């Protein structure tokens, strides 16, 4: 009797923890705060193994993120199967005929998949185990569809911004290339709109990728540069307008974009546990940058602090380079 009671308690606790983790991951905004955190732990374990299997410390293939996504749901369903299987085995006397543990797992799996193929009759409390198992399996499968839709929407919003920026700024994108392109098109005023849209993009990526860390590893479609290069280019753009270009009307959106970008890169590197890499930006590159800006027709500030520019660029450049190296993509160059 004590052993059966322990099996029921362990099964119920396992089911509750699993359902909470699924709900926190799929429905609740932000990273899961449950005890299991299956998706987060699977990423931590799988990334080094995947890179070792590919004999590369840099590249993460396009199939990695979908594999993690499907692996999370398989683990959730496996934990539910084990939990309900333990409960069904503990109540084996209420089944006809009485099942062993392997048969109890099959009964629980049949209930989770709502197919009812076990061929064993349940009585008394055993019936409620199968009913709750059916509800749980149906709920998880429904949330799986919801999760896939959220993932697709998050990737679509992120990649639309990447494609727009690489079209105008080159590949990998650069802030200087974007400024020169708009100057060639006689539309330098469009830069301010880019700043506003860039801030919206950062907020959208932060909300989706921090809530679902698997999105960080989905590769961008049709472009070689990933989201780290796009983020780096937008933060370089904000820093150039803030410290080098004399445009008071664009300074406020530039400062806000850079703040939003720093928040984004800090949060995502924290989620996947990355340490910043050394950034080689120095004050010596600022005169060349200013010369190209002046040649493109931009009015520069009367006094420019090259060392302050390099110091602030290293602040976000180190995190952007770490993310790009982790994903096997390129970072945004300051001087293309």
Write the pLDDT tens digit of every residue in 184-237: 988 877 899 999 999 999 999 998 888 788 888 888 766 667 899 999 999 999
- Kindly state whether residue 158 falls inside one of the protein's structural domains: no
- Kindly state whether residue 32 falls inside one of the protein's structural domains: yes
**Phi, psi angles (nearest 5°) of residue 45:** -75, -40
Q: For residue 34, what are the contacts with CB-CB under 8 A and spacing of at least 6?
A: 17, 20, 21, 24
Helix (H) or strand (E) holding 121: strand 121-122
Its domain, for residue 207, covers 170-327
Do residue 323 and residue 178 come from a single domain?
A: yes
Report, as an integer, the average pLDDT of 303-328: 90
Return the top range by mean pLDDT from 41-55, 138-152, 283-297: 283-297
> In this predicted structure, what is the pLDDT of residue 256?
95
Do residue 7 and residue 122 come from a single domain?
A: yes
Q: For residue 3, what are the contacts with CB-CB under 8 A and spacing of at least 6?
A: none
| pLDDT tens for each residue of 94-127 | 888 888 899 889 988 888 887 766 677 888 888 8
- Kindly state whether residue 263 falls inside one of the protein's structural domains: yes
Report, as an integer, the average pLDDT of 308-326: 91
- Kindly state whether residue 293 falls inside one of the protein's structural domains: yes
pTM, rounded to two decimals: 0.80
Spatial contact of 32 and 45, defined as CB atoms under 8 Å apart: no
- Kindly state whether residue 54 falls inside one of the protein's structural domains: yes
Six-digit token string for 281? 């930006």
> In this predicted structure, what is the pLDDT of residue 3?
83
CA distances from 28 to 31, 34, 205 (A): 8, 11, 16
- Kindly state whether residue 157 falls inside one of the protein's structural domains: no
Give the range among 23-27, 82-86, 252-256, 305-309 with minimum mean pLDDT: 23-27
Do residue 118 and residue 182 come from a single domain?
A: no
- Kindly state whether residue 151 falls inside one of the protein's structural domains: no
Helix (H) or strand (E) holding 317: helix 306-327
Do residue 127 and residue 178 come from a single domain?
A: no
Do residue 140 and residue 275 come from a single domain?
A: no
Nearest to 264 by CA among 207, 186, 194: 207
Nearest to 261 by CA among 219, 316, 215: 316
């Amino acid at each position: 009797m004590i052993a059966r009671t322990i099996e029921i308690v362990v099964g119920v606790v396992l089911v509750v923890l699993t359902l909470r983790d699924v709900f926190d991951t799929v429905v609740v905004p932000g990273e899961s705060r449950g005890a299991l955190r299956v998706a987060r732990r699977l990423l931590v374990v799988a990334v080094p193994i995947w890179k070792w299997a590919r004999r590369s410390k840099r590249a993460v293939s396009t199939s990695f993120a979908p594999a993690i996504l499907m692996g999370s749901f398989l683990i959730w369903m496996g934990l539910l199967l084990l939990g309900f299987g333990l409960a069904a085995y503990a109540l084996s006397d209420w089944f006809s005929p009485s099942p062993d543990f392997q048969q109890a797992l099959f009964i629980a799996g049949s209930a989770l998949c709502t197919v009812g193929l076990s061929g064993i009759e349940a009585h008394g409390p055993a019936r409620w185990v199968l009913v709750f198992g059916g509800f749980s399996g149906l709920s998880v499968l429904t949330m799986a569809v919801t999760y896939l839709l959220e993932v697709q929407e998050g990737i679509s919003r992120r990649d639309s911004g990447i494609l727009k920026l690489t079209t105008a700024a080159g590949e990998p994108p650069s802030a200087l290339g974007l400024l020169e392109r708009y100057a060639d098109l006689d539309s330098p005023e469009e830069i301010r709109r880019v700043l506003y849209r860039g801030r919206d993009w950062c907020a959208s990526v932060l909300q989706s990728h921090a809530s679902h860390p698997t999105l960080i590893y989905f590769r961008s479609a049709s472009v070689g540069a990933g989201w780290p290069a796009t983020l780096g280019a937008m933060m370089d753009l904000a820093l150039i307008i803030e410290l080098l270009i004399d445009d008071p009307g664009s300074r406020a959106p530039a400062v806000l974009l850079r703040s939003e970008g720093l928040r984004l890169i800090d949060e995502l590197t924290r989620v996947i546990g990355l340490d910043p890499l050394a950034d080689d930006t120095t004050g010596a590159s600022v005169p060349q940058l200013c010369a190209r800006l002046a040649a493109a027709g931009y009015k520069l500030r009367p006094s420019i602090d090259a060392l302050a520019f390099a110091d602030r660029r290293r602040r976000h450049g180190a995190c952007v380079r770490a993310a790009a190296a982790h994903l096997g993509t390129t970072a945004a160059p300051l001087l293309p």
